[in-house]
Amino acid sequence: MKILSLRLKNLNSLKGEWRIDFRDPKFNGLFAITGATGAGKSTLLDGICLALYHQTPRLSDTYKIMTRYTSESLAEVEFQVSNKVYRAFWSQKLARNKASGKPQSPKVELAESNGKVIANQLRDKLNQVEQITGLDFARFTKAMLLAQGGFAAFLNANANEKAALLEELTGTEIYGAISRRVFESYRQHEADLNLRKVSTENIQLLTQEEINSLTQKQKCLKEQQAQYDAKLKALTQQQQIYKEIQDYEKQYQVKAQEILESQNNQKQLEAILSGIEGDLKLYKDKENLGEYLPKWEVQFMQRAQLHDQQQKIVKEINQLQQKIALSVVQIAEQDKAIAGLGQTSRSYQEQQIKLSQEKESLLAGVSESEWRLNRDQHFKQIGDYERLADWQHAFQANQTQQQDNKRDLKVCQADLKQTQQDIKDIKQQFDQAQEHLKTLSQLQEREREISDLAQYRAKLQQNMPCPLCGATEHPKITEYKEINISETEQRFQDQTEKLRHLQEEYKKQQIALAKLEGQYDQNQKHLLENIKAQQELNDKWNQITKELGLSLKIEQAQAFNDLLKASQQKNLDLEQFSQQLDQLNHTLELQKKREEKIAEQMREIKHQQDLAIQNNNYDYQSSIHLQNQQSEMKHEYENLEQQLIELLKGFSLDLPLIDQQNDWLATQQSLWQAYQAKKNEYELKKNELKQTQEKQNWLVEGKQKIVQEKKKLEENNPQLKEIETINAINNQVIDYQVERDKVLQQQGKIQQELASNEVKQKKQQDSLLIIQTQEKNYKLWAQLNGLIGSKEGDRFRRFAQGLTLDYLIELANQQLKKLHNRYQLYRSSGDQELGLGIIDTWQGDSFRDTRTLSGGEAFIVSLALALALSDLVSHKISIDSLFLDEGFGTLDEESLEVVLSALDSLHTRGKTIGVISHIEALKGRIPTQIHIKKREGLGYSRMDQRFVFSA
């Protein structure tokens, strides 16, 4: 994952909108983020975290990061994963765009480089970022935002402190939670098993003897129930027969009442029919009125239509006559307007001829198109001249810069050659000193061996045999007694100190060499860039001068300046002439438009006049036609009224006025409807009387049938005539039902006891099966608890931390080989299971305590641990952008050089490294910088002008 660009607005003290493009070649490798304490250096890292994860390592409430007295903040990051570019965006506003408003919900977006939106919801975007990068917020802050301070403390902490730091850095707290959950699950399974066993033991079941006794008792009760059911059935049948006799008696009474009501209804209907017959005699002369009413309605409608049409035609004739009179006046006015416009048009034509002659005089015989072509060619030529002037100025500036680069390169080359020779001499001296130290070590060992045999040499006597070799002569006893071991040890220590000084000098010269090589490469790069730029400028110059037909070289500055001034003067003359010509063309065009407008007005008036004459003739013909129509309609109207008068005489009716004919028709229609209603009422009542007579006959037949059925039942059951017998039967039924209910209750109780016993038996069997399953689970959790479970969760967490520490040490040692191939980390054994130590490969792989490291050495080891953690949490995603938020102020100058050289080595591995610091020594050591400066008295900060964002 690589950060390509960062855009931020109104975050912390950085007021305004800024953008940093890390794709700029200047940011390839190591760069510094500098500024005073509190200026806002770490705000850049906050912006990256906000754009990707909507939170920062320092603040939980994102709206608090907004710059004071502003109402909007944003952060946007472009990043690359596996050669694919994405854009992550976050912004937040305050209500009503006021600094006092409440924070609104943030707006977010994740998109591809082509603009395709992947997510625009908070949760969805976080999931997509984690899926694409393989990093959540915690892993991201450990993989890309490295804080070596935590690892510096980690190096020298005790076991408990180291466990806490390791848990915070690597997130192994999950293993403690697992250990506690295993212990809690073990205890829970144990409690559940014991509770299940106690519950199973408390289940009480019936014995087999009790089950048999209840079954036999239930059988006897069923036999008693059957006897009671048979007796109740016989008594119920007698009750049903008695009930049917009573029902027949009630039905007989109902039928008699219905017959009486039917007879009364028949008398009422006969009286109503007699009255209706008298009313119908009054409408005798209206019987045929319904046949003629529709015909009269049609004729009256024709009469009204003819009357309306006559009135409409008279109105149209009057309107046409008024229109003809107005049209004659309009035609006369149009003749007058056409004459006035003709005189104006002749005046415009004379002015246009005069302007055309003036234009020809100005062009002096040259066509306007040819003159404009020559002018445009000159304008293009002056643009080429101006570009040539810019290239010539750039060429001269590059010449000066090239001379400076050659001078710096020559000085750097000499220093580089001298430093290489110094390193070679120191290496030769180091090899000689190391060989001498080896010789002194051998001599020292031999002298110690001789010294250890001193007691045996003291026992040797002249002419006495040696106990070891048997010799009687001992010539070197005196020489061995003179050996001074302390003198050899002093020489060994002096040589060791000399070797150490040579090592330090060699290291300093290596650092100086790396620095000189970097300066040399930079100077050589700048020189090549200047030479390439010079060549490009010269090629562009030659191409344009060839097109212009010029033989000047780019070095001929004075000659070109004279040519440029002459061309610029000619350009001013052409612009002045062009303005005069454009003014004449504009005036001619204006006169032409005026003349065309006059002609158009004359054509329009003439066209309107022709239409008026045509419409006038048409209106006159229409008036004659309408007068003929009005005469024909008047004759037709008079004939229709005469026909209606003759027809109404047969009904003794007069023809109504035309405005009263609708009311007259409504009156005649009402009379006809009244006659029809009386006639329909008569037929309805007549049918109702017939139905009443038929119902009366049916009721009499039903009454007779009821008498017959009742008599039949009484003859077949004579004992039911006595009321005492019926009461006795009812009492027997009640007694038998009470006894039967008691039997049923006893059966239900027995059935409930048997069913309850079956349920308990099934529950006991299920509980035993559950106990078997719980015992298996309990044994599994007991075994797992014995391995990793603990009440405090420290057993599995410490084991996992040890594995994580081993892997972290392995990755850190890989980084140390690349940064500074002297030290290796190892994990100490014994009680200090999380202890760390240092192996010094330059001192014969000797073991050292981490507290013996110098400031620069401790920083390198801490950096290696931080880079190792970055690889550990990045889930195989390549991390190509790193930001080190570390105080370098505690390092001395030598340690600082060691650290920066180590950081420089990361550039060769394709990583972009941003170092955040406020110390001045970095300004000269790291050329590429993002400087954040406080603004006095305002509480705001700003970056260089080149980082100001412009849309």
Q: Which range, 227-236, 367-376, 568-577, is most confident? A: 227-236
Order of strands, sheet of 929-934, starting from the edge strand that comes earlier in the sequence? 117-119, 107-112, 84-93, 72-81, 2-11, 14-21, 941-942, 929-934, 30-35, 912-917, 881-885, 145-146
The tokens for 419 are 């430093």
Assessment of whether the complete model's pTM goes beyond 0.75: no
**Can you list the pairs that 666-673 forms with residues at least 24 positions away whose Cβ atoms lie under 8 Å?**
668/289, 668/293, 668/296, 669/293, 671/283, 671/286, 671/289, 672/286, 672/289, 672/290, 672/293
Mean pLDDT, the chain, whole residue set: 79
More confident position, 284 or 491: 491
Give the pLDDT score at 51: 94
Give the pLDDT score at 922: 67
CA distance 768 to 266: 88
Per-residue model confidence as pLDDT tens digits over 902-938 = 777 666 666 788 888 777 666 667 888 898 888 766 6
Question: HEC string of 17-51?
Answer: EEEEECCCHHHCCEEEEEECCCCCCCHHHHHHHHH
Give the pLDDT score at 18: 94
Under the phi-then-psi rule, with left for phi > 0, alpha for psi from -120 to 50, and beta for the rest, what region is 56? beta
Kindly state the DSSP code that residue 117 receives in the 8-state scheme: E
Per-residue model confidence as pLDDT tens digits over 778-825 = 888 888 888 888 887 777 777 777 888 888 888 889 888 877 778 899
Burial class (CB in 10 A: 0-12, 13-18, 19+), 11: buried
Give the pLDDT score at 831: 43
Tell me the pLDDT band of 876, cut-offs 50, 70 and 90: low
Residue found by looking up tokens 């008079």 in the block: 638
Examine the pLDDT at 432 and tell me if it is beyond 50.
yes
Contacts of 904 (CB under 8 A, 6+ apart): 29, 30, 514, 518
Per-residue model confidence as pLDDT tens digits over 299-335 = 888 888 888 888 888 888 888 888 888 888 888 887 8
CA distance 73 to 69: 11
> Cβ–Cβ contacts within 10 Å for residue 466, how many?
15
CA distance 99 to 69: 5
Contacts of 821 (CB under 8 A, 6+ apart): 841
Q: What is the DSSP string of 658-707?
A: TTTHHHHHHHHHHHHHHHHHHHHHHHHHHHHHHHHHHHHHHHHHHHHHHH
Q: Which range, 169-173, 489-493, 926-930, is most confident? A: 926-930
Contacts of 636 (CB under 8 A, 6+ apart): 306
* Domain boundary assignment for the chain: 171-247+725-788, 368-458+494-555, 558-648
Q: Where are the beta strands (DSSP E) in 113-181?
A: 117-119, 145-146
Per-residue model confidence as pLDDT tens digits over 888-898 = 666 667 667 76
β-pair partners for 699:
none
Examine the pLDDT at 291 and tell me if it is beyond 70.
yes
Comparing 160-169, 233-242, 357-366, 917-926, the range with the smallest average pLDDT is 160-169
Q: Which range, 78-82, 346-350, 692-696, 765-769, is most confident? A: 78-82
CA distances for 114 relative to 77, 85, 950, angstroms: 15, 9, 21
**Helix, strand, or coil (residue 246):** helix
**Helix, strand, or coil (residue 782):** helix
CA distance 371 to 305: 81
Kindly state the DSSP code that residue 92 receives in the 8-state scheme: E
Give the pLDDT score at 152: 66
More confident position, 78 or 777: 78
Contact 637, 307 (CB under 8 A): yes
Phi (first) and psi of residue 39, to 5 degrees: -70, -30
**With the C-alpha atoms ordered 78, 79, 85, 86, is the resulting torsion angle positive or negative?**
negative
> Cβ–Cβ contacts within 10 Å for residue 851, how many?
9
The tokens for 876 are 């195989």
Per-residue model confidence as pLDDT tens digits over 676-715 = 787 787 788 888 878 877 777 877 777 777 777 777 776 7
The tokens for 459 are 């026992």
- Section 623-635 average pLDDT: 82
Examine the pLDDT at 416 and tell me if it is beyond 70.
yes
CA distance 387 to 543: 12
- Section 657-680 average pLDDT: 81
Closest among 478, 491, 394, 399 to 442, alpha carbons compared? 491
The tokens for 629 are 């129509």
Give the pLDDT score at 7: 95
